Amino acid sequence: MVAAVKQIVKVQRGGIIRIQSDQLRAGDEAEVIVLVSDSTNGNGRRSSRKPDKKYPVARMTKQTRGDIEWAKKIKAEGGANIPWAQIKAERGL
């Protein structure tokens, strides 16, 4: 019969991983699969590379570029003057 033991552990210096469980008996043979979370680069160390936050304009669709220009225009003009107090009062918020 196959038993599964799942634990989240910290990788120690030298790539050592320690697993301890009452389900494991001395002398038993075990197959180990290590899944490393996305916060590391595969060798147990955190990646120093930060993801790019900018989306290249060349990869944007014409619609997206137009939406961005429209948003910039609204922001520059001061945007729509929405009477939030009046709307809240009307809806009982």
In order of 51, 54, 62, 86, the CA distances from 58 in angstroms are 18, 12, 10, 42
Please indicate, yes or no, whether the overall pTM of this predicted structure exceeds 0.85: no
> pLDDT band for position 6 (50/70/90)?
confident
Residue 17 lies in a domain: yes
Give the integer Cα–Cα distance in Å for 36 and 11. 10
Number of folded domains in the chain?
Answer: 1
Give the integer Cα–Cα distance in Å for 15 and 43. 8
pLDDT digits (tens, 9 = 90+) for 40-87: 555 555 555 666 566 666 666 777 777 778 777 777 776 567 777 888
Residue 65 lies in a domain: yes
What residue numbers bound the domain in which 22 lies? 13-46+56-91
